């Protein structure tokens, strides 16, 4: 399945927008990016490595030669690219359940968007506007974003502890070691293969 | 800058694909075939462009018709979408692509209109930037470490978990001494391989669905 | 608020009978005519969800469910058959990759009856005494013979474990079972704190009926996917049946071995696996020792949250109850967990061997596990795949649930702790499989109306 590499799923979606709505969306995305409520929710959901929304206006499709026909489009297009962990269904269920308003703010300007609740219609729409990845590279296929964040915390804790550990007396080391293990104990999950896509 | 989040750059490029009715196998088909057979693990060209986290190449055949009352329309060209997330700045990245993975770049972008080749790095970088689309909203869960730091941390996490289990209950002096050895071996250890191993992605008991 | 018609819903879907004995008759249905006749003749005896008055409790109950193959054998119209949810149509064996029913849990190790998709119907008799059980089963077998509608493939017995001469709710590893079944709107029993969903102000509320019964609004404000016509699905539900063999010997040895190394001792380690002491006390409420008072009080014994224990110091993050019912642990007001609940029924099977006595893992011993839910895919399969066999949602990477996970001898379970020597951090490594799957399938438990439609061949898919 080329949409998946290890624990990451590459979703691509394209939706048409009436051009008069595009500036509203651009403004909203700017605001959402600056004020960060959406960013916080995305971080707390903790299953997206990277995601982006890209607006391509109807006259913005790159034209590199006179021989290339000029696009004659009525609509502007909103492109969405996500690198997420979990299955397709799990991802959309989660978005519909907890990010409903944010999603609606972004996609309501797209034609025929049904809203993110009820989830069944939302899934049908996404399946319609999704297009599949031809090649997907993942530098850490065995790690979800949770694993990455946990590993970075462990590394930081280790760097701190390591600098003093060897100079302690065994008795002091014993105490410090226990404190160190308690500090990293929630971040020691193994990495590995993802469950199959559903 | 909307293309950037912390240290991570989000690049989106749309390169129009050559349409040539005279060919037996059209460009987009050949491109897809090439991409379908390209290594996706540590042998991927992106593993060599080592600042890459996650990258994708997608042939966008057409826009979608979402149903009445929306209008049906079609693109006149196909576009190759290149979406990548990497450490550092754009110019460095594109230059590395041209210099470190020229065969790959050639095999992909030769199918695209206006591609100037990789020998003139500046021309290539300019060409790619012409096709760049600005990201309007970019989210990066982790944006303050490099790829190498991340891979190292994953290696550390695994080694530490094994160590803790192995030596739990042992006398403190022993743990301390073995811990010193662990630290030394971790700093000597080679950096983990970017891109992982295709074989370890799919062990026998976890075959993916088709 | 959903008003539900308890006389139309099979009792098994609505409540645990708490009878100590059961027999699950796994049937092959024969020709469709006689099979329908058999269903028709059974109909008056099917136990509904109606409340039993005191002193009027029946001596035994009867309930009936079908696999998709069974419904096909009964000659439901093709459009109806095709309108059932995909996972139910495929059956459990075909979903093995999702469920991690591989390796020792793979179909090659299942009981013969489950290996080849032959089971069409599940006929469950629950009874208060052995005599009542035998009497009811004999009557059913007579009916099978008279109608020529079904053949018995296997009779699976199950029986509550007796302790001190009384049926208990213990299972073979020694844990007390039966807490925390979800409350849903319209169900008759009282809403007990800890069983439903958490509201924003910290109260517990019943879940939407449609999470457990077809034909009612679910937590997402929709009707769950159900077959057409509507009446065929309404008041019905889906059941996952799994025969889980328990390697009691392996479990006891492992617990002994690790218990010696663990600062809190063996019983506490056992409690850390599950999130409850073996008597049922939640370790979130009583981290140092079991507490019979809490267990006996239904307003306390499942009334807790994890908000005060984010590091898993009392209840490990990967412990059984924390994985399958995260409560407030994922934030977002339960949005990520309210649609992942399952109703559990089940009874142990096989002879109970008390602690300290030699036990052979080759013997038949385990639990017949049944999960009821409106959507097998969204509820049971999700919990199994994402929360039992994988740990990303609980930030435990690939680590599996310790007790029932499909371990291969190399996995681990992290017991988080503190600097208290009686509650140290501890890694249980080299986890063997304590539980092995010996078969099962996906069933549809129709309403009484639907059963009548099926029996009279009047299912019309329009």
Do both C220 and C308 map to the same domain? no
Average pLDDT over residues A140-164: 95
Task: Tell me the C-alpha distance between B131 and B14, whole Å.
Answer: 5
Contact C297, C427 (CB under 8 A): no
* pLDDT surpassing 60 at residue C188: yes
The model's confidence at residue C2, banded by pLDDT at 50, 70 and 90, is low
Residue A32: predicted pLDDT: 80
Domain boundaries, chain B: 4-130, 147-200
Same domain, A80 and A158: no
Q: Give domain status of residue C326, yes or no.
A: yes
| Nearest residue of B to residue A4, measured between CA atoms | B208
Q: Is C45 helix (H, G, I), strand (E, B) or coil?
A: helix
B35-44, C86-95, C131-140, C184-193: least confident range: C184-193
C132 and C229 in one domain? Answer: yes
Say whether residue C100 is in contact with chain A using an 8 A CB cutoff. yes
Cβ distance B130 to A197 less than 8 Å, yes or no, reads no
Helix (H, G, I), strand (E, B) or coil at B55: strand
Tell me: do A155 and A93 sit in the same domain: no
Residue A77 · residue A53 · CB < 8 Å? no
pLDDT over 70 at C79, yes or no: yes
Burial of C279-306, coded b for 16+ CB within 10 Å and e otherwise, reads: bbbbbbbbbeebbeebbeeeebbbbbbb
Task: Give the residue on A whose Cα is nearest the Cα of B129.
Answer: A62
Who among A51, A135, A152 is closest to B139 (CB)? A51
DSSP C397: B
Co-location of A110 and A172 in the same domain: no
Q: Which residues form the domain of C362? A: 247-439
Residues C276 and C224 occupy one common structural domain:
no
Answer whether residue C102 is part of any domain.
yes
- Torsion, Cα C303 C309 C315 C316, to 10 degrees, reads 140
Distance from CA of B169 to the nearest CA of C (A): 7
Mutate one of B161, B170, B208 to test the C interface: name it (highest C CB count within 10 A): B161
Residue of C343, C177, C154 lying closest to C246 (CA atoms)? C177
Residue A91 sits in the same domain as residue A118: yes
Place of tokens 């890459």: B52
In this prediction, residues A2-10 reach a mean pLDDT of 95
C405 SS3 class: coil
Picking from B153, B171, B191 by the largest number of A CB atoms within 10 A of its own CB, the best residue to mutate is B153
φ, ψ dihedrals at B97, nearest 5° = -55, -50
The CA-atom distances, in angstroms, between B181 and each of A182, B162, B184, C117 are: 21, 14, 5, 56
**CB within 8 Å: C261 and B208:** no
Report the range of poorest mean pLDDT among A151-155, B6-10, B158-162, C329-333.
Answer: C329-333
pLDDT digits (tens, 9 = 90+) for C365-391: 999 999 999 999 999 999 999 999 999
C162 and C302 both lie in a single domain? no
Cα distance between residue B71 and residue A16, in whole Å? 10
Q: Are C398 and A191 in contact (CB < 8 Å)?
A: yes
Start-to-end C-alpha separation, chain C? 30
Same domain as A173, residue A95: no
Distance (Å, whole) CA B151 – CA B161:
16
Mean pLDDT, to the nearest integer, of C68-93? Answer: 97
The pLDDT tens digits of the residues spanning B166-183 come to 999 999 999 999 999 999
In a domain, residue C194? The reply is no
Number of domains present in the structure of chain C = 2
| Residue C35 scores a pLDDT above 70 | yes
Regarding whether A172 and A96 lie in a shared domain, the answer is no
What's the domain range around A89? 4-131
Between C328 and B23, residue with greater pLDDT: C328
- Tell me which residues of chain B, numbers 90 to 109, contact chain A at a CB-CB cutoff of 8 Å: none
Architecture category of domain B4-130 in CATH: 2-Layer Sandwich (3.30)
In angstroms, the CA A191 to CA A148 distance is: 9
pLDDT range class, residue C334, cuts 50, 70, 90: confident
3-state SS of C126-137? EECCHHHHHHHH
Q: A119 and A151: one domain? A: no
SS3 B58: strand
Residue in C98, C102, C261 closest to B205 by CB = C102
Q: Is residue C321 part of a domain?
A: yes
Which of C414, C447, C59, C122 shows the shortest CA–CA distance to A181? C414
- Evaluate whether A134 touches B35 at the Cβ level (below 8 Å): yes
**CA–CA min distance B119, chain A (Å):** 19
Is the pLDDT assigned to residue C331 strictly greater than 90?
no
Kindly report whether the peptide bond that precedes residue A118 is cis, defined as omega within 30 degrees of 0: yes
pLDDT at B201 over 60: no
Which chain B residue's Cα is nearest to A26? B136
Is-contact C402 C428, C-beta < 8 A? yes
A59, A115 Cβ separation under 8 angstroms? no
* Whole-number average pLDDT of chain C: 95
- Would you say B153 and B146 are in contact if contact means Cβ atoms under 8 Å apart? no
C114's CB contacts (< 8 A; 6+ apart) are: C93, C107, C243, C438, C439, C440, C441
CB A157 within 8 A of CB A180: yes
Find the range with the poorest average confidence among B147-161, B187-201, C338-352, C421-435.
Answer: B187-201
Planar angle of CA B161, B164, B166, nearest 5 degrees: 105
Closest C-alpha to C398, from C410, C415, C382: C410
Render the burial of B173-193: b for 16+ CB within 10 Å, e for the rest: eebbeebeebbeebeeeeebe
Q: Which residue has the higher pLDDT, A97 or C366?
A: C366
Q: What is the DSSP string of C78-140?
A: HHHHHTS-HHHHH-TGGGHHHHT--GGGSGGGS-HHHHTT---EEEEEEESSHHHHHHHHHHH
ipTM of this complex? 0.94
In a domain, A80, yes or no: yes
The two three-digit tokens of residue C250, written as one number: 């392996």
pLDDT at position C189 over 90: no
Nearest to C38 by CA among C64, C12, C61, C60: C64
Q: Write out pLDDT tens, residues C111-121.
A: 999 999 999 99
Over chain A, what is the mean pLDDT?
A: 93
pLDDT tens track for C271-293: 999 999 999 999 999 999 999 99
**A121-150 pLDDT tens trace:** 999 999 999 999 999 999 999 999 999 999
How far is the alpha carbon of A194 from chain C, nearest alpha carbon, in Å? 8
Tally the domains of chain A. 2
At CB < 8 Å, which residues of chain B contact C?
A: 161, 164-165, 168-169, 205-209
Q: What is the 3-state secondary structure (H, E, C) of chain A?
A: CCCEECCEEEEEEEEEECHHHHHHHHHHHHHHHHHCHHHHHHHHHCCEEEEEEEEECCCCCCCCCCCCCCCCCCCEEEEEEEEEECCHHHHHHHHHHHCHHHHHHHHCCECCCCCCCCHHHHHHHHHHHEECCCEEEECCCCCCHHHHHHHHHHHHHHHHHHHHHCCCCHHHHHHHHHHHHHHHHHHCCECCCCCCCC
| pLDDT at position C248 over 80 | yes
Stretch 15-44 of chain A: residues touching chain B, C-beta under 8 Å: 15-16, 25-26, 29-30, 32-33, 38-39, 42-43
- Looking at per-residue pLDDT, the higher value among C245 and B20 belongs to C245
Q: Do C398 and A193 touch (CB under 8 A)?
A: yes
Q: Is the peptide bond before C360 cis (omega within 30 degrees of 0)?
A: no
Q: Contacts of residue A69 in chain B, CB cutoff 8 Å?
A: 76-77
Q: Do residue C224 and residue C251 come from a single domain? A: no
Dmax (CA) for chain B in angstroms is 77
**Structural domain contains residue C294:** yes
Contacts of A118 in chain C (CB under 8 A): 220-222
Are B164 and C427 an interchain contact pair (Cβ–Cβ within 8 Å)? yes
Q: List the structure tokens of C39.
A: 């269903």
Stretch C202-228: mean pLDDT, rounded? 94
| Mean pLDDT calculated for residue range B105-123 | 96
pLDDT of residue A170 exceeding 70: yes
Average pLDDT, integer, range B187-194: 87
Residue given tokens 């000597």 in the structure block = B188
Statement to judge: residues A97 and A18 lie in one domain: yes
Residue B198: band (very low, low, confident or very high) from pLDDT cuts 50, 70, 90: low
Do A150 and A109 reside in the same domain of the chain? no
CB contact under 8 A, A71 and B151: no
Chain A partners of B160 at a C-beta cutoff of 8 Å? 154, 158, 184, 188
For residue A47, list chain C residues with Cβ-Cβ distance below 8 A.
Answer: 392
d(CA B115, CA B110): 6
Q: What is the mean pLDDT of residues B12-25?
A: 91
Same-domain status, A83 and A43: yes
Q: How distant is the Cα of B183 from the closest Cα of chain A, in angstroms?
A: 8
Reported for B121-130, long-range contacts at CB under 8 A and 24+ positions apart, including other chains, are B121/B95, B124/B94, B124/B97, B124/B98, B125/B91, B125/B94, B125/B95, B125/B98, B127/A64, B128/B13, B128/B15, B128/B94, B129/B90, B129/B94, B130/A62, B130/A64
Shortest CA distance from A117: residue in chain C: C220
Please tell me whether the overall predicted TM-score, pTM, comes out greater than 0.90 for this model.
Answer: yes
Residue C116 resides in a domain: yes
Does A84 lie in the same domain as A167?
no
Residue A196 included in any domain: no
Model confidence at C129: pLDDT above 50: yes
Same domain, C218 and C256: no
* Alpha carbons A161 and C233: distance in angstroms, whole number: 60
Residues C82-100 have pLDDT tens digits of 999 999 999 999 999 999 9
Closest CA in chain A for residue B49: A139
Same domain? For C233 and C274 the reply is no
What pLDDT shows up at residue B1?
55
* Tokens 């061997």 -> residue: C353
Which of these, C320, C312, C326, C245, lies nearest to C277 by C-alpha position? Answer: C320
Is there a contact between B36 and A46 if contact means CB atoms under 8 Å apart? no
For C127, phi then psi, to 5°, come to -145, 155
Q: What pLDDT, on a 0 to 100 scale, did the predictor assign at position B202?
A: 43
Q: Which residues of A touch B112 (CB under 8 A)?
A: 64
Backbone angles phi, psi at B181, to 5 degrees: -65, -40
**What's the distance, CA C397 to chain centroid?**
25
Residues A179 and A90 in one domain: no
């Amino acid at each position: 399945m080329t949409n998946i590499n290890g624990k990451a799923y590459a979703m691509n979606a394209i939706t048409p927008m009436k051009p008069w709505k595009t500036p509203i969306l651009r403004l909203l995305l700017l605001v959402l990016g600056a004020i960060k409520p959406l960013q916080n929710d995305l971080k707390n959901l903790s299953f997206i490595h990277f995601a982006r929304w890209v607006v391509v206006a109807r006259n913005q499709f790159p034209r590199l030669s006179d021989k290339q026909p000029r696009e004659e489009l009525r609509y502007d297009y909103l492109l969405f690219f996500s690198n997420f962990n979990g299955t397709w269904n799990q991802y959309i269920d989660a978005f519909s359940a907890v990010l409903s308003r944010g999603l609606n703010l972004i996609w309501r300007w797209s034609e025929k968007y049904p809203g993110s609740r009820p989830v069944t219609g939302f899934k049908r729409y996404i399946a319609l506007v999704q297009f599949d990845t031809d090649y997907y590279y993942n530098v850490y296929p065995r790690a979800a974003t949770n694993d990455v964040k946990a590993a970075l915390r462990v590394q930081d804790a280790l760097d701190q502890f390591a600098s003093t550990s060897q100079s302690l007396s065994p008795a002091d080391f014993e105490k410090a070691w226990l404190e160190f293990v308690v500090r990293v104990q929630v971040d020691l999950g193994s990495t590995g293969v993802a469950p199959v896509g559903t | 800058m909307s293309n950037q989040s912390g240290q991570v750059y989000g690049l989106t490029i749309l390169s129009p694909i050559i349409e040539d009715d005279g060919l037996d196998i059209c460009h987009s088909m050949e491109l897809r075939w090439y991409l379908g057979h390209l290594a996706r693990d540590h042998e991927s060209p992106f593993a060599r462009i080592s600042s890459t986290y996650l990258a994708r190449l997608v042939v966008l055949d057409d826009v979608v018709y979402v149903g009445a009352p929306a209008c049906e329309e079609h693109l006149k060209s196909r576009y190759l979408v290149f979406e990548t997330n990497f450490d550092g700045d754009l110019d460095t990245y594109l230059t590395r692509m041209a210099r470190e993975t020229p065969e790959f770049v050639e095999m992909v972008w030769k199918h695209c209109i206006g591609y100037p080749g990789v020998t003139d790095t500046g021309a290539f970088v300019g060409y790619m930037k012409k096709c760049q689309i600005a990201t309007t909203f970019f989210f990066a869960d982790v944006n303050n470490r490099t790829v190498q730091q991340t891979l190292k941390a994953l290696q550390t996490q695994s080694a530490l978990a094994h160590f803790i289990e192995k030596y739990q209950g042992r006398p403190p002096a022993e743990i301390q001494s073995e811990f010193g050895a662990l630290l030394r071996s971790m700093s000597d250890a080679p950096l983990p391989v970017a891109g992982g191993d295709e074989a370890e992605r799919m062990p026998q008991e976890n075959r993916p669905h088709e | 608020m959903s008003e539900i018609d308890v006389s139309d819903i099979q009792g098994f879907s609505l409540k645990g009978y708490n009878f100590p004995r059961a027999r699950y008759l796994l049937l092959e249905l024969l020709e469709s005519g006689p099979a329908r006749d058999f269903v028709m003749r059974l109909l008056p005896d099917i136990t509904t969800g109606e409340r039993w008055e005191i002193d009027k409790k029946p001596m035994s109950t009867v309930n009936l469910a079908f696999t998709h193959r069974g419904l096909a054998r009964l000659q439901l119209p093709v459009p109806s058959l095709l309108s059932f949810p995909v996972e139910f149509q495929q059956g459990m064996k075909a979903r093995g990759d999702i469920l991690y029913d591989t390796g020792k849990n793979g179909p090659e190790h299942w009981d013969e009856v489950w290996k080849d998709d032959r089971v069409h119907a599940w006929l469950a008799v629950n009874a208060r005494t052995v005599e009542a059980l035998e009497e009811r089963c004999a009557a059913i077998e007579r009916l099978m013979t008279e109608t020529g509608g079904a053949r018995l493939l296997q009779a699976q017995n199950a029986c509550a474990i007796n302790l001190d001469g009384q049926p208990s709710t213990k299972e073979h590893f020694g844990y007390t079972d039966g807490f925390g079944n979800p409350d849903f709107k319209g169900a008759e029993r009282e809403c007990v704190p800890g069983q439903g969903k958490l509201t924003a102000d910290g109260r517990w509320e019943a879940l939407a009926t449609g999470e457990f019964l077809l034909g009612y609004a679910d937590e997402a404000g929709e009707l769950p996917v159900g077959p057409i016509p509507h009446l065929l699905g309404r008041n019905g539900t889906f059941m996952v049946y799994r025969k889980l063999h328990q390697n009691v010997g392996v479990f006891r040895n492992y617990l002994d071995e690790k218990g010696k190394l663990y600062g809190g001792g063996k019983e506490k380690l056992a409690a850390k696996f599950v999130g409850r002491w073996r008597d049922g006390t939640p370790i979130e409420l009583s981290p140092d020792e079991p507490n019979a008072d809490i267990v006996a009080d239904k307003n306390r014994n499942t009334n807790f949250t994890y908000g005060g224990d984010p590091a898993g110091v009392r209840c490990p993050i990967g412990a059984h109850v924390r994985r399958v019912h995260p409560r407030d642990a994922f934030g977002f007001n339960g949005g990520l967990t309210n649609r992942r609940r399952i109703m559990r029924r089940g009874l142990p099977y096989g002879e109970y061997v008390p602690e300290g006595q030699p036990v052979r893992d080759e013997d038949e011993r385990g639990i017949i596990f049944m999960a009821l839910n409106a959507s097998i895919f969204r509820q049971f399969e999700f919990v199994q795949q994402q929360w039992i066999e994988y740990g990303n949602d609980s930030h435990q990477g690939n680590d599996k649930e310790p007790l029932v996970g499909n371990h291969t001898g190399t996995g681990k379970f992290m017991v988080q702790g503190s600097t208290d020597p009686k509650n140290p951090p501890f890694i249980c490594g080299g986890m063997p499989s304590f539980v092995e799957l010996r078969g099962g399938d996906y069933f549809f438990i129709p309403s009484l109306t639907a059963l009548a439609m099926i029996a009279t061949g009047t299912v019309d898919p329009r």
